[in-house]
A = this chain, B = another copy of it.
Amino acid sequence: MTDKPTLLLDAPALGGLKRRLEADYEVLCLWEQPDLDAFLSGGGQRVRAIIGGGEKTDTRLIEGLPNLGLIARIGSGYEGVDVPHARAHGVQVTNTPGVNADDVADLALALLLGLVRGVDAGDRMVRAGAWTRSHRGDARPSMKGLKVGVLGLGDIGKATAERAEAFRSEVRWWGPRPKPDVSWPRVESLPALADWCDALVICARADASNAKLIDGAVLDAVGANGVVVNITRGSIIDEDALIERLKDGRLGGAALDVFETEPTPAARWEGVPNTLLTPHIGGNTRGAIQAMVAMALENVRAFLAGEPVPNAVPD
């Protein structure tokens, strides 16, 4: 036992935080618990807050940790938490909204530019000694005039659209709700956006309504000369349908930072052409991580002090 309040870190990626937090808290690590039942009836009894690194929060934690009052997520997404279920058990949920929109949008452009201009393919060509005086790869489309369709015009979508405009790409968007304060044209539907664009950039937050929203029909509308970029959540794409179309050429390319399951198995992408794949690094910058951790810890501090938490997620 200890006088310090007890926190539970739920993902190995947060392991680096442990030492820093131990000055003020007792810190338990979920991935170090070999037996969940033993944990729930042992150290778990003391847990006041979970710091969540983006993985699914097991409902048994919400039900089985008697002193749990807060799940403080690091990151803007919180689809891994059953929020009504948590609330029903008296557990608040917070996230870190808006912190990493710039970094994630930067990665969206890095992936879009890389795929459209063939940076990765060029790098492989140079290293394989395949660059010859007569061959440096096929000519590529320009970013100028490229039709960039943005799905979801929240913080990340807006930041992505602004950056695409600096490259003189043409931007349109779709999302379920019109936004009167933006100048980019909203098309009437997702199929219309997919049909119009050269590059569909997925910037939508994941929720129950948009699981596999980007299905075979949408991908077919993007087509053999089009590409898909996803930097928010893998659940929004029907990944099997995507892979099938990349393999047979019905879809021109895909640049993905997020996947149906993460880490995505390497074998799943063997022989899938025209892909650029990154390990969910959209928010993996020093500045964003520092800011997100600070925000999550402020939510923890406020909760333990009996104050309103600053970043309760919306209903």
Q: Taking beta carbons and an 8 Å cutoff, which residues of A are in contact with B? A: 11-13, 15, 31, 55, 102-103, 106-107, 109-111, 113-114, 117-120, 122-123, 125-129, 131-137, 139-145, 162-163, 165-168, 262-267, 269, 276-281, 284-289
Contact = CB atoms under 8 A, between A and B. Distances in A.
Given A126-B269, A127-B277, A163-B166, A284 B139 contact: yes
Nearest to A111: B119
Nearest to A13: B134
Contacts of A262: 131
Contacts of A102: 142-144, 167-168
> Which 10 pairs of residues, A with B, have the shortest CB-CB distance?
A166-B166, A12-B134, A122-B278, A129-B266, A110-B113, A131-B279, A131-B263, A136-B279, A126-B277, A142-B285
Contacts of A266: 126-129
Contacts of A126: 263-264, 266, 269, 277-279
Given A102-B168, A131-B279, A142-B288, 4 more contacts: A13-B133, A107-B119, A126-B269, A140-B286
A200 to B, nearest CB: 19
A285 B127 contact: no
Given A114-B114, A287-B144, A127 B269 contact: yes
